């Protein structure tokens, strides 16, 4: 189950029309410029510096692939564990604007996680230590430690990669 906080929008208005009340527009612009600049930087150290600048908690030796993008409204709700790889063109969200409400949720990506290319991680998700998410997956529920998941939406493909390697 995703861990989300729900916030109602005004009657008759979809929540995206209220985004300026949710987050300071100058902060959103700052986050956008930094996060979208980092998307195409070849230096992993510089990328991680930029991500930390907007409030993402980035562990040691994290590798974020080319074109990956993080939530520009709530980057401070994202945490990435040590030695994790986030693949090309992956999107990590910490908010959802819906018709009658908006929701936010902390995204926790554990240590030694591999998230393949072109994935989408929804708000409120926890991906356990040493888990693997296959390419082109929609992570709409928590991923247990050591699990190998994939698909749209994700399903468990193997119980544990560690057991298979023994």
How many C-alpha atoms does 15 have within 13 Å on its Cβ side? Answer: 16
Per-residue confidence (pLDDT) for residue 165, from 0 to 100: 46
Per-residue confidence (pLDDT) for residue 138, from 0 to 100: 98
Per-residue confidence (pLDDT) for residue 30, from 0 to 100: 98
Ordered by start, the domain boundaries in the chain are 5-164
- CATH architecture, domain 5-164: 3 Solenoid (2.160)
Per-residue confidence (pLDDT) for residue 160, from 0 to 100: 59
Per-residue confidence (pLDDT) for residue 127, from 0 to 100: 98
Long-range CB contacts for residues 76-79, cutoff 8 Å, separation at least 24? 77/104, 77/105, 77/106, 77/107, 77/123, 78/106, 78/107, 78/109, 79/106, 79/107, 79/108, 79/109
Per-residue confidence (pLDDT) for residue 47, from 0 to 100: 97
- Give the DSSP H or E segment for 35: helix 25-38
* Alpha-helical runs (H) found in 39-129: 44-53
Per-residue confidence (pLDDT) for residue 86, from 0 to 100: 98
Q: Is the dihedral of CA 14, 73, 108, 63 positive or negative?
A: positive
Q: What is the largest CA-CA distance in the chain?
A: 57
Please identify every stretch of the chain with a pLDDT value under 50, giving residue numbers as ranges.
164-166
Dihedral angle over CA of 86, 91, 92, 93, nearest 10: 180
DSSP 10: P
What pTM was computed for the model?
0.92
């Amino acid at each position: 189950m995703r861990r989300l906080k729900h916030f109602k929008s005004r009657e008759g208005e979809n929540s995206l029309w209220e985004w300026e009340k949710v987050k300071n527009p100058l902060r959103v612009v700052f986050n956008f410029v930094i996060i979208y600049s980092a998307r195409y930087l070849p230096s992993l150290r510089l990328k991680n510096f930029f991500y930390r600048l907007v409030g993402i908690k980035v562990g040691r030796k994290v590798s974020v692939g080319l074109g990956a993008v993080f939530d520009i409204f709530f980057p401070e709700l994202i945490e990435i564990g040590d030695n994790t790889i986030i693949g090309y063109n992956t999107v990590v969200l910490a908010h959802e604007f819906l018709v009658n409400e908006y929701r936010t949720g902390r995204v926790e990506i554990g240590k030694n996680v591999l998230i393949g290319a072109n994935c989408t991680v929804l708000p409120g998700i926890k991906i356990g230590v040493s888990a693997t998410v296959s390419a082109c997956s929609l992570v709409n529920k928590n991923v247990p430690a050591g699990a190998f998941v994939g698909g749209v939406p994700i399903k468990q493909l193997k119980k544990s990669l560690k057991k298979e390697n023994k």
